[in-house]
């Protein structure tokens, strides 16, 4: 397994004390497969994905990445793991508004010291059909184009794991279908594992596996 979560609990501080979000969640993401995480709003799906990305630390439980226990990694160690091995595609794109499409894709590689970052970013944008948008800023791009830039950025370091949080949530149906076809194609081309949150039954059905979350618990997989 590429990523294994065992008995994950998550509690976050709220106005009335600690709010329990996840209750003993266990989940495994196989190498080279696509997994849909589905369930009603507020069930803990995004929190689970953020734990997979190392952006949230579980209250208890174990996380194995490629067989290595990363549960106790501090933020610096997880940042390196995320930079080199994990790509994240957000629903709201999270592009840097003052950077061009090319700069947005190149920046994770430049931070990692990749010498040909600009060339690889140019190719990455070509792979998602945006060779004509290299010097455009996010505000000059459509929602679908911004999500394509975000996908190119997430794939820039050729990560083993791609995490996508409702990647079509802010797109119309036609654009969303095009984006997901692109994401599936690029993930397959790189031999990566894809875990995505979606409310779209058709999109979930297109994945190799489904994990159903309700009230912070896995209820089916």
Residue 169 has pLDDT above 90, yes or no: no
Q: Kindly report, residue by residue over 39-94, the tens digit of the pLDDT.
A: 999 999 999 999 999 999 999 999 999 999 999 899 999 999 999 999 999 888 99
Would you call 44 helix, strand, or coil by DSSP? Answer: coil
Averaged pLDDT of the chain:
93
Report the DSSP pairing between strands 3-14 and 86-89. Answer: unpaired
User: Helix 117-127 crosses helix 101-111 at what angle (to 10 degrees)?
Assistant: 130
Q: Kindly report, residue by residue over 102-152, the tens digit of the pLDDT.
A: 999 999 999 999 999 999 999 999 999 999 999 999 999 999 999 999 999
In this prediction, residue 16 has a pLDDT band, given cuts at 50, 70 and 90, of confident
Alpha-carbon span 213 to 20, nearest angstrom:
14
Residue 83 to residues 65, 180, 202: CA-CA distances in angstroms? 14, 23, 31
Residue 15 has pLDDT above 80, yes or no: yes
Average of per-residue pLDDT across 155-172: 91
The pLDDT value given to residue 25: 97
Percent of the chain with pLDDT over 90: 77
Residue 162 has pLDDT above 80, yes or no: yes
The pLDDT value given to residue 220: 79
Residue 186 to residues 32, 89, 145, 153, 182: CA-CA distances in angstroms? 12, 13, 16, 12, 6
């Amino acid at each position: 397994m590429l990523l294994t979560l065992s008995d994950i609990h998550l509690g976050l501080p709220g106005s009335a004390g600690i709010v329990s979000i996840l209750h003993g969640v266990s989940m495994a993401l196989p190498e080279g497969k696509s997994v849909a995480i589905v369930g009603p709003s507020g069930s803990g799906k995004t929190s689970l994905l953020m734990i997979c990305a190392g952006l949230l630390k579980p209250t208890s439980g174990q996380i194995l990445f490629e067989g290595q226990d990363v549960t106790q990694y501090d933020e610096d160690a997880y940042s390196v793991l995320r930079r080199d091995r994990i790509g994240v595609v957000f629903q709201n794109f999270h592009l840097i508004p003052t950077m061009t499409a090319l700069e947005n894709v190149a920046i994770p590689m430049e931070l990692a010291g990749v010498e040909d970052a600009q060339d690889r970013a140019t190719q990455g944008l070509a792979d998602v059909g945006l060779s004509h948008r290299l010097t455009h800023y996010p505000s000059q791009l459509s929602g679908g184009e911004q999500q394509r830039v975000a996908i190119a950025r997430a794939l820039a370091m050729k990560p083993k794991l791609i995490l996508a949080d409702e990647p079509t949530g802010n797109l119309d149906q036609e654009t969303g279908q095009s984006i997901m076809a692109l994401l599936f194609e690029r993930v397959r081309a790189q031999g990566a594992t894809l875990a995505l949150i979606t409310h779209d039954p058709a999109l979930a059905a297109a994945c190799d596996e489904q994990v159903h979350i309700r009230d912070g618990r896995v209820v089916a997989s």
